[in-house]
Structure 1
Amino acid sequence: MSKNEAPSVNRKEEIISAAIATFAEIGYYRATTAQVAERASISQPYIFKFFPTKEALLVAALEASWGRIVQSFKRVVESVPPSELEPALIEAYENILADRANEMLLQMQAQTISSEVVREEMRKGFRTVRLIVLEAFRNAGIPHPEERTLLFLARGMLCNISMALGMPELMEQ
Structure 2
Amino acid sequence: MAKGTATSVSRRTDIVAAAIEVFAEIGYYRATTAQVAERAAISQPYVYRFFTKESLLVEALEVSWERIAKSFQQVIDTVAPEQLEIALIRAYEAIMESHRSEILLQMQAQTIRETPVRDVMRQGISQVKQQAERAFAEAGFADAEERTSDFLARGMLCNVSMAMEMPGLMVKK
Return the TM-score normalized by structure 2: 0.98
Q: Which sections of structure 1, spanning at least 5 residues, go unmatched?
A: none
Residue 147 (structure 1) shift? 0.2
* 2:18 maps to amino acid: A
- Secondary structure class of the residue paired with 1:112: coil
Residue 7 (structure 1) shift? 1.2
* 1:42 maps to amino acid: I
- Secondary structure class of the residue paired with 2:3: coil
Aligned counterparts of 2:171 and 2:91: Cα–Cα separation in 1: 18
User: 1:23-72, CA deviations, whole angstroms, 9 ceiling, x for partnerless residues?
Assistant: 00000000000000000000000001111x10000000000000100000
Aligned counterparts of 2:20 and 2:160: Cα–Cα separation in 1: 18
Residue 143 (structure 1) shift? 2.5
User: 1:74-95, CA deviations, whole angstroms, 9 ceiling, x for partnerless residues?
Assistant: 0000011111100000000000
Residue 172 (structure 1) shift? 2.6
Tell me the equivalent position of 1:142. 141
Tell me the equivalent position of 2:84. 85
- Secondary structure class of the residue paired with 2:113: coil
Tell me the equivalent position of 1:20. 20
Deviates more, 1:2-11 or 1:158-167: 2-11
Aligned residues: 172
- Runs of 4+ aligned structure 1 residues displaced above 4 Å come to none
Aligned counterparts of 1:41 and 1:100: Cα–Cα separation in 2: 21
Aligned counterparts of 1:144 and 1:83: Cα–Cα separation in 2: 14
Residue 8 (structure 1) shift? 0.9
Tell me the equivalent position of 2:38. 38
- Secondary structure class of the residue paired with 2:140: coil
- Secondary structure class of the residue paired with 2:86: helix
Tell me the equivalent position of 2:107. 108
Aligned counterparts of 2:4 and 2:116: Cα–Cα separation in 1: 30
Return the TM-score normalized by structure 1: 0.98
Q: Which sections of structure 2, spanning at least 5 residues, go unmatched?
A: none
Q: Describe how 1:1-173 pairs up with structure 2 within 5 A.
A: 1-51=1-51, 53-172=52-171
* 2:13 maps to amino acid: E
* 1:61 maps to amino acid: A
